Structure 1
Amino acid sequence: MAIDQDMETGENRLKEDIRETLIQHGVNGTCKKTKESLWVVYFSTFVAVCGSFEFGSCVGFSSPTQSAIREELELSLAEYSLFGSILTFGAMIGAITSGAIADSIGRKGAMRVSAIFCIAGWLAIYFAKGALPLDIGRLSMGYGMGVFSYVVPVFIAEIAPKNLRGGLTTVNQLMICCGVSLAFVIGTVLTWRTLALTGLVPCFILLLGLFFIPESPRWLEKMGRHEQFEAALQQLRGKDADISQEAEEIKEYIETLEKLPKAKMLDLFQRRYWRSVMIGVGLMVIQQFGGINGICFYVSQTFESAGFPANVGTITYACLQVVVTALGAVLMDKAGRRPLLLVSGSGLVFGCILAGTSFYLKANELASTVSPLLAVTGILVYIGSFSIGMGATPWVIMSEIFPINVKGVAGSLATLVNWFGAWAVSFTFNFLMSWSTYGTFILYTVINVLGILFIAMFVPETKGRTLEQIQAAINNS
C-alpha cells in the first residue's frame, strides 16, 4: 500500500510538473508569441493604411474647396469639373500599372512610389496659380490613389495571419472613409491651400514607417530571396514562433506557380484563372455599378432634390459611414465575407427602393410631408449597407483569391474595372437623375439584385483559410 501510494504520489507530482511546464512554455509562450506577432502585424498594417487615409484625403479635397478655388483662381464650372474628375483618370492609369510596380519593386516599393506621386500632386495644388497646375497636381494624386487602392489591401492580406486577415484588410476601407470625412470637416475651417498641406501628413508618416516594417514574405519568396522571406515571416509571427509549416506551404505553392509561364493580361482568360478573375472583377462591377459613387459624390444635391436639408444629411452620412465601416471591420473575421456581402446587398436594394419611392411620390406630388424623410432614410440605409460590406469586402476578397503569379495583372484589371465604374457612375448620375429621379434608383435596385444573385452563386467564403487553401478551393470547385 505504501509503495502504491508513493507511486501514485510520484505520478501526480510528475503530472503536475508536466502541466506547469506546458503552461509556462506553451500557454505563456503562446501569449508572448501572439503579442509579438500582433505588434508587428498591427504596426505594419497601420503604416500601410496611411496610404488608405491619403486616398480618402485626395477624394475629399474637392468637395469643401470648390467655391474658394473657383473664386480665387477665377475658374469656370467646366474648369473646376475637369479638376475634380481628372482624379479618376489618374487613378485608372495607376490601376493599370499598380500590379506591375508591386510585382517588380515590391509592395513597400509600390507604396513609396504612390506616396511620392501624392506629395508631388499636393505641392502642385498648393502653389497653383491657374487651372493647369491644379489639373497636373490632381492627376498626380489620382495616380498615387490608383496604386494605393491595389497595393495596400494586397500587402495586408499577405502579411496577416489567416484569422486576422479579413478584419485588418477592412481597415483599408475604414481609413479611406476617415480620410474623406476629415477632409470634409476641416475643409470648412481651413483655406484650400492649407488643406492641401494637410494631405502631405499621411504620406510622410507612410514613408517613415516603411523603414521599420518587413516586406511581404510571399513577394520575397517569389523573388527568390529565401533568407529574407524567412526573416520577414519570423518577424511577423514572433521570434519564438514555429513558422516551418506556414513557410513550407508558401514555398511549395510558389514553386508550383513558378513553373508556369509569366502571366500576361490575356492569360487571365485561361481556364485555370477564369473563376478567380470572374469573382474579382464581378465584385468590382457590383460594387461600383450599384450606384455608390453617383450617390456619394452628389449626396448634398440628392438630399436637396428630395427636399431635405443638405448639411444635416451630409454630416449624418459622413458619421454613419465611418461608424458602420468600423463595425464591418470587426465582423469581417467573425461573420465571414459572404454573409456580410449578402446582408450588404440586401440593404442596398432596400435603400434604393425607399429612395426611389420617395422620388416617385415627389414627382407625382403625393405624401409631400413623408417623401423627404423617406428619401433620407433610404440614402442612409444605402450608405450604411454599403459601408458594412460592399465597400470593403470586394477589396478583401480581391486580395485573397488571385494566384500570386497573376496577382499583379489580375489585381490591375480588377482595380481598373473599379475605377472605370467609379467614373461611369459619377459621370452618368446627373444625366440619369435628369431623366428620372425614381427611375435612377429603380435601375440601381435591379443591379444590386443581380449582385446578390452573383454573390450567392459564385463567391466563396475565404474566412479562416490561408491564401494557398483559398486557391485550392477555387481551382477544385
Structure 2
Amino acid sequence: MTLKSPVCNMPDDQEKKGHTRILGLTVCSAAIGGTLQYGYNIAIINTPTIYIQRFINETCRERWGAELEVYQVTLIWTFIVSIFSLGGLVGALIAGPMAVRFGRKKSLLVNNVFLMLSSVLAVTSRAARSFEMIIVARLLVGINAGVSMNIQPMYFGESAPKHLRGAVALSSAVFTAFGVVLGQVVGLREILGSESCWPYLLASNVVPGLIQLLTLPWFPESPRYLLIDKGNKEACIKALTQLRGCDVLHSEMEEILQEQAAASGIRAKRPWELFTDRSMRWQLLSIMVISSAMQLCGNDAIYFYATYIFQEAGISLDKIQYVTIGTGSCEFTASILSNLLIERLGRKMLLMGGYILMAGWAVVFMVALSLQHTAPWIPYLSMVCIFAYILSFGMGPAGVTGVLPTEIFNQMARPAAYMIAGSLMWINLFFVGMVFPFLVSGFGQFCFIPFCAVCLLSSLFIGLVLPETKGKTLPAIASEYDKLNFRGQEKQCSGTAQTQYQLGKVLHSTAM
C-alpha cells in the first residue's frame, strides 16, 4: 500500500509552528493532571501536619473518651503520609495493563476517577469525623500519581518527534517540580494552609484533574499505540498529522510501520517475561538500577531535613514556610534548565553529572553539619548544600530517569518496563521514608553517607553500562545493548533488534 499525505496549504514555517504548538498543548494538558499531581500531593501534606494530628486526637477522644499517646498519633500520621507511596506502587502495577487496554491518553483520563474519589473523601473527612477517610484519600491519590508517573512519560516519548523526544519526555519532571512549588504556595497559611481550610487543601488537587478532563480529549492519542497496538493506520496518520504536519509524516510512518511489522503477531510482554528475555537483560538492569537510585539518592530525605537546617540557621518558625518554597523552586529551575540541555548534552552526561555533583554536595553537607556550631555562618553553608543538592538532582536524575524506558524498550516491552521501574521507585520511596529517621539517630551528622555511596555507585554504573540514546533509533540503541546481552556470542546474536527491524522493513515493503 502507499501512504497518502494530506494536502498542506499553509507556509512551511507557519505549519511547523502550528504543529509545535499542538504538541506543546498536548504536553501541558497531560502533565497538568499527571505528574504535576505527584509533586503537588507531596507538598500539600506537610503544612497541615499539626492540624490533622490534632483532628486525629479529637476524633479518638470523641469516640472512646480518651486521648491517644503522642507516639500513637505520630504512628497514625506516619501511616497517612506513607500510604501515598503504597498507593503509588498499586498505580505503577496497574499502569501497564491500563496503557495496553485503554491506550495512553484514555488511561490518563480514566485515572482521574481515583483523584475525584480522593477529593470527595478528603473534603468531607472533618465533617464526618473520620481520619480513616484521609487515609483512604491518600491511598487513592497515590494510585493516581502512580499511574500518571508511568503512563505520561510513555505517552510523551511515543508522541514526540525523535529530535524533541528527550525534551518532551523530560517535561514530566518540569511539571513534577512545578507541582511541588504550587503545593508549597497553596499550602501557605494565608491561602489554604490554615486550620479551618486544611480539608480544602487536601482536596484542591481536583482542580488540575478537572483541567485535564476538559482539555486532553481534544488532543491526539499516541501514534505508535494507534498503529502498533490497535492496527488503526488511519487514526495513526491523523494523529501524526496533528502533531507533526505533512513534511515528516511519510518518513515517520515508514519507521512506525517497520516496527509494527517486526512486532507482528507478538503480544505485549508481561513484567516477569522481561526477566527471562536475554535480549533485554541489560536494558532491564539499567532501568532497575537507575529507577531505584532516583529514590535511594536521598533527595526526598533532604527535603525532610530542610526544616531542621533552617531552624539551626536562625530562621523563625513562622518564616520557614516561605524559605521552604525555595527548595521546590530550585528543583523547578533545574528541571527547566535540564529540559533545555538534554538534547545538547545527552542523557548519559546529565545523569552522571547529576549524581557526581550530588555526591560532592553530600560530603560538604555532612562536614557542615559536623561543624554546625563552630561559626555563625556554617548553618548557611548547610542551606546552600540543600539547594545545591536539589539543583543537581533536578538537572539530571529527576527528569532523565523517566525518559529511558521509552528509549531503550520496544513497543511490546515498554508498558512492562514502566511497571517494573515505577514499582521500584515507589517501593524505594517508602523504604527511604521509613529508614531515614533511623539513619539520623544512628549516624548523626554522617547520615548522608549511604546516599553519597548510592550517588557514586550509580554514576559508575551509568558510565560503564548505559549507552547514549540522544537522537538514536531503537534498533541502534538495542544493537549497543546486544554487545552486553550476548557477550561472547556477538557473531551469532549481536544485532538481534536490528535484524528484527530489517525483517520488518522487508515485510512492509513486500506488503506495499
Query: Is TM (by shorter chain) over 0.5?
Result: yes
Aligned to 1:329: 339
Question: Distance in 2 between the 1:436 and 1:57 partners?
Answer: 31
Q: Of 366, 373, 387, which residue of structure 2 is paired with 1:356?
A: 366
**Residue 19 of structure 2 contacts residue 244 of structure 2 at CA under 8 Å; is this kept in 1?**
yes
Cα drift, residue 306 of structure 1: 7.4
Partner Cα distance (2:304, 2:214) in 1: 32
Query: Is 1:96 paired with 2:77?
Result: no
| Correspondence 1:291-310 to 2 at 5 A | 291-304=298-311
The 3 A distance-change label for structure 1 pair 132 and 262 is same
Cα RMSD (Å) of the superposition?
Answer: 2.2
Instruction: Determine if the alignment matches structure 1 residue 397 to structure 2 residue 368.
Output: no
Alignment partners' CA distance in 1, 2:272 and 2:463: 28
Aligned partners of 2:371 and 2:109: how far apart in 1?
51
Of residues 369, 373, 376 in structure 2, which corresponds to 1:369?
376
Query: Which residue matches 2:140?
Result: 140
Residue 258 of structure 1 pairs with residue 250 of structure 2: no
Q: 1:79, 1:132 → 2: CA distance? A: 10
Counterpart of 1:11? none
Structure 2 portions without partners, runs of 5+:
1-6, 59-72, 485-512
Residue pair 2:271, 2:419 contacting (<8 A) in 1 also: no
Q: How does 1:305-316 map to 2 (within 5 A)?
A: 311=320, 313-316=323-326
Aligned-residue offset at 1:120 = 1.1
Q: Distance in 1 between matches of 2:267 and 2:236?
A: 22
Identity of aligned residues (%): 26
- Superposed CA deviations along residues 246-266 of structure 1, whole A, max 9, x for unmatched, are 111111112212344542222
Deviation at 1:476, TM superposition (A): 5.6
Distance apart, 1:115 and its partner CA: 1.5
Q: 1:449 aligns with which of 456, 465, 474?
A: 456
Aligned partners of 1:308, 1:440: CA distance in 2, in Å?
23
Separation in structure 2 between the aligned mates of residue 30 and residue 466 of structure 1, nearest angstrom: 26
1:425 aligns with 2:447: no
Q: Which residue of 2 aligns with 1:275?
A: 282
1-structure distance, mates of 2:422, 2:430: 12
Show CA shifts across 1:329-388 (max 9, x none). 1111222111211221121011100111122334xx6x3435313322222211110011
State the distance in 2 between where 1:297 and 1:122 align.
Answer: 25
Corresponding residue of 1:212: 218
**Partner Cα separation in structure 1 for residue 479 and residue 237 of structure 2:** 23
CA distance, structure 2, for counterparts of residue 122 and residue 77 of structure 1: 23
Tell me what 1:67 maps to. 50
* Equivalent-residue separation in structure 1 for 2:421 and 2:78 (angstroms): 26
- Partner residue of 1:13? none
**Is 1:294–1:425's contact at 8 Å kept on the other side of the alignment?**
yes
Deviation at 1:415, TM superposition (A): 0.5
- Of 50, 55, 80, the residue aligned with 2:38 is 55
Q: Which residue of 1 aligns with 2:392?
A: 385
User: Residue in 2 aligned with 1:288?
Assistant: 295
Counterpart amino acid of residue 336 in structure 2: A
1:31 aligns with 2:31: no
Alignment coverage as a number of residue pairs: 449
Contact 1:403–1:471 (CA under 8 A) maintained in structure 2: no
Structure 1 residues 421 and 302, CA gap change in structure 2 (3 angstroms): farther
Decide whether the 8 Å contact of 2:55 with 2:131 is kept in 1.
no
SS in structure 2 of the partner of residue 214 of structure 1: coil
Tell me how far apart the structure 2 counterparts of residues 349 and 162 of structure 1 sit (CA, whole Å).
Answer: 32
* 1:130–1:302 Cα change, 3 Å: farther
Distance 1:360 1:308, change over 3 A: farther
The offset of 1:102, in angstroms, is 0.7
* Higher gyration radius (CA): 1
Residue 7 of structure 1 corresponds to none
String of CA shifts for 1:257-281, please: whole Å, max 9, x gaps. 2344542222212111112111111
More helix by share: 1
Shift of 1:305: 6.2
Q: Distance in 2 between matches of 1:185 and 1:200?
A: 16
State the AA in 2 paired with 1:184.
Q
Change (3 A) 1:242 1:439: closer
Q: Distance in 1 between matches of 2:184 and 2:146?
A: 21
> By how many angstroms is 1:304 displaced?
3.9
Q: Tell me, yes or no, if the aligned pair for 1:462 and 1:470 is still in contact at 8 Å.
A: yes
Spell out, residue by residue over 1:299-329, the C-alpha distance to the aligned partner (whole angstroms, 9 max, x if none): 2135446777671652321222221221111
How big is the shift at 1:56?
A: 1.9
